[in-house]
Structure 1
């Protein structure tokens, strides 16, 4: 009897559609980049490990676009994305800096700083899932925090262990703070100011041309400072009419 019930239950189950599976496959790429970064960091291959954190951002940006284009976004996908982000932008960068700078010389202070950073990433992701505030991000986004930390390794700018521990703690604090940071997700072809977007693209290109591997560190440091001084890149890149429309529709 139970065997017949089991067969009926299996028949009632609807097979997962490709539009539901595809976004999670992209998210898996994000998670795998974080895991590979961890493995390389443990082996002492710090620069490739840092690059994998940057590659994880590509998958992190694509999964949402794939879900929206296919109409296959699910609650499962949202939770899976947060778990992948925790590994790629929390555990992997925290372990990377710990292995590159804090292990053996930072003592317990270095361990606490690395753990604090990962904890703040987890709290930031959990808050993002339950608190939806229109407009700028509340607190430094976890991908930006993870990339900022990893960019020190790319730039070969590993500082004194005490300084690196302070940087980890500072980045973690910004992620759980209410400091507003630019949200570029709502920027579209119609609403974007092409001249300003082109100017920003030229600036980024010049940074890579003159600074090389140190360019990501400079750019993410600039992004962090922009939040502290309340400069919204997302608003700056919008056309005037788009800014006015957003100001009218924004809840007071």
Structure 2
């Protein structure tokens, strides 16, 4: 009974999430290999928490940039874990908890304080809470299905992409508030609901490719698109950032619809 339970627990994680060899670094024998990537994961969580505080104080631009910084740390911790062979079950669980704070609670409170707080009754609380629920369900589904996980793609909109889309839209509105307040509030409510549904959907999304020669050889058009998107963000800032995230979301939807259509035709 105990043996089968232990075996089931071990099957939950694929090999790349296990510590390889000794858990101690040869350069720092008193420090676990998973310590350094866990530091970046904790920084991700801290950025999410401080973003919540900034939203409460009305510092929405700072709150948005902290979510973007959290996404940077979320990318770095996995990269550091792989190059140091410091992946671990602890780091995997910590990463999920950090993502729920930074890409679930932080953007949900941000949209509530920025635009949804003025909705009648408790509508603003209800709509913003859907983002937290969607993020939690998305992360939980990923955790239990991680044994079939492929780094090239994701089932459902990744939580960082959802949070970055929210942050990009609010940065755009703060830099160029061309929408009437009621229109902006309606769009923000619609966007929050749509992103929540996409997170728990079966829509397939590509992982962002690494800027390597292998990526250029395998997906040259995709790499050119992403490089062009980066230059547009640098030139047009918040507007291009939000539109780039929106295009990423729409491409996933179109590709999934096309795939379903082809399957129905066969």
TM category, shorter: 0.7 to 0.9
> Which one of the candidate residues 155, 161, 166 is aligned to 1:138?
155
Q: 111-120 or 128-137: which moved more?
A: 128-137
Q: Which residue of 2 aligns with 1:35?
A: 49
Corresponding residue for 1:85?
99
Structure 1 position 63 matched with structure 2 position 77: yes
* CA-to-aligned-CA distance 1:137-160 (integer Å, 9 cap, x gap): 100000000111121110016743
Which TM-score applies when normalising by structure 2?
0.75
Q: Which residue of 2 aligns with 1:204?
A: 230
SS of residue paired to 2:86: coil
Residue 185 of structure 2: aligned partner: 161
Partners of 1:133 and 1:21 in 2: CA distance: 24
CA displacement at 1:215 relative to structure 2: 1.5
Structure-1-length-normalised TM-score: 0.79
1-side partners of 2:156 and 2:30: how far apart?
36
Query: Does the residue aligned with 2:187 lie in a helix, a strand or coil?
Result: helix
Once the two structures are TM-superposed, the CA of residue 104 in structure 1 deviates from its matched residue by 2.8
Deviations 1:32-51 (A, max 9, x none): 11011011000000011001
Matches within 5 A, 1:90-239: 90-131=104-145, 132-134=148-150, 135-156=152-173, 159-184=183-208, 188-193=212-217, 196=221, 197-198=223-224, 200-209=226-235, 211-230=236-255
Distance 1:179 1:225 in 2: 10
Q: What SS does the corresponding residue of 2:208 show, helix, strand or coil?
A: coil
CA-based RMSD of the aligned residues comes to: 2.2
Count of aligned residue pairs for this structure pair:
217
Deviation at 1:212, TM superposition (A): 2.5
Q: Gapped runs of 5+ residues in structure 2?
A: 1-23, 257-266
Distance 1:148 1:17 in 2: 37
For the residue of structure 2 that corresponds to 1:92, the secondary structure is helix
Whether the 8 Å CA contact 2:209–2:215 is kept in 1: the answer is no
Which range moved further: 222-231 or 25-34?
222-231
Distance 1:218 1:224, change over 3 A: same
2:260 corresponds to: none
